[in-house]
């Protein structure tokens, strides 16, 4: 089942972004797949949560769900998301953007694992 509905809204199964990533990690450390909701296309809270979960040692598949925002695709992968699930409409626009527009970054310790899929 897609994690996102036809309007681009994350379904209930997706975790809202927690403030305390350390506590969340204790709960989800053995989960094979974890989905985090983006609250909006300019909301960066999920980016810190993803980075912290990776820093804590979460090794499962991390999925970002919802409106990622056009300029943030590569950033999402760099903070540790494996996969971003967006609306079909946003996917059409994102396909025109390069996944890795920059040849270098100043933050070498952030992970980079790009992949992108549509919800449908």
Partner 1 sequence: MYQYNLIDQAIVDARVTQFAEQMRRYLQGALTDEQFAPIRLQNGLYLQRHAPMLRVAIPYGTLSSQQLRKLADISRRYDRGYGHITTRQNIQFNWLEMAEVPKVLGELAQVQMHAIQTSGACVRNTTTDPLAGTVADEAMDPRVVCELVRQWSTLHPEFASLPRKFKIAVTATEVDRAAIEVHDVGIRLKKHAVHGLAFDLWVGGGLGRTPVIGRRLLADLPVAELRNWLTAVLRVYNLAGRRDNKYKARIKILVYAMGLQAFREQVTHRYLSDHDPALRIESGELETLTQIFTRALNPRLESTLPTNAAFTRWFNQNTRPHRTTGYRVVFVSLKRPGTAPGDLTAAQMEAVAALAEQFSASEIRTTHEQNLVLPHVACSDLEALWQALGHHDLAHPNMNLISDSIACPGIDFCSLANAPSLSLAEAIHETFEDLDEQAAIGPLEIKISGCMNACGHHHIGHIGILGVEKKGEPWYQLTIGGRDQKGAVLGQRLGPAIPHDDVVPLIRRLVDLYLAERERGEAFVDYVDRCGIDALKEFSYATH
Residues that bind partner 1 in the complex, under the rule CB under 8 A: 17, 19, 21-22, 39-45, 47-49, 51-52, 55, 69-72, 74-76, 78-79, 93, 96, 98, 101-110
67 vs 119, beta carbon nearer partner 1: 67
What is the rounded distance in angstroms from the CA atom of residue 71 to the CA atom of residue 10?
Answer: 20
Sequence-distant (≥ 6) Cβ neighbours of residue 24 within 8 angstroms: 15, 18, 49, 53
Shortest Å, Cβ 1 to partner 1: 28
What is the rounded distance in angstroms from the CA atom of residue 22 to the CA atom of residue 7?
Answer: 31
Eight-state DSSP code of residue 24: H
Shortest Å, Cβ 39 to partner 1: 7
Q: How many CB atoms lie within 10 A of CB 113?
A: 13
3 vs 25, beta carbon nearer partner 1: 25
5 vs 40, beta carbon nearer partner 1: 40
Shortest Å, Cβ 47 to partner 1: 5
21 contacts 52 by C-beta, under 8 angstroms? yes
Shortest Å, Cβ 61 to partner 1: 19
């Amino acid at each position: 089942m897609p994690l996102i509905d036809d309007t681009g809204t994350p379904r209930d199964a997706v975790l809202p972004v927690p403030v305390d990533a350390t506590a969340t990690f204790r709960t989800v450390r053995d989960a094979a797949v974890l989905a985090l909701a983006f609250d909006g296309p300019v909301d960066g809270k999920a980016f810190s949560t993803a980075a912290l979960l990776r820093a804590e040692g979460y090794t499962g598949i991390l999925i970002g769900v919802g409106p990622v925002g056009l300029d943030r695709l590569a950033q999402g992968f760099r903070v540790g998301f494996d996969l971003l699930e967006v609306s079909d409409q946003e996917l059409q626009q994102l396909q025109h953007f390069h996944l890795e527009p920059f040849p270098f970054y100043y933050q070498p310790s952030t992970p980079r694992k790009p992949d992108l899929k549509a919800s449908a």
